[in-house]
Amino acid sequence: MNELDILDKKIENYVHKRMDESERMAFEEELKTNNQLRENIRSLIALVELYNAELFDLKKKLDGTEEELHREKFFDADK
């Protein structure tokens, strides 16, 4: 793995809270001095939040559609 791959993995692990405390503390120290890394983290966190919001909205729509189909007895059509 090259340095960029390692950095990407670190960023991913940090954003998804997959670092133990010592790794997280060391990474956060690096964030204090590395503006580009800090910006990359902010961007990824924003993307993750957007993805989660869109996923939540989609889940709500699917649940609503399923409820409507049950009300219309769509699933009982074969009986």
The predicted pLDDT at position 76 comes to 86
Q: What is the pLDDT of residue 78?
A: 64
Q: Tell the residue number behind the tokens 């189909």, with chain if given.
A: 69
Those residues with Cβ within 8 angstroms of residue 12's Cβ, 6 or more apart along the chain or in another chain: 18, 44
pTM of the entire structure? 0.62
The domain limits of the chain are 3-76
Give the pLDDT score at 15: 87
The reported pLDDT for the residue numbered 77 is 64
37: Cβ–Cβ under 8 A, 6 or more apart, which residues? 7, 11, 30, 31
Local mean pLDDT, 10-residue blocks, the chain (79 residues): 86 91 95 91 90 95 94 79
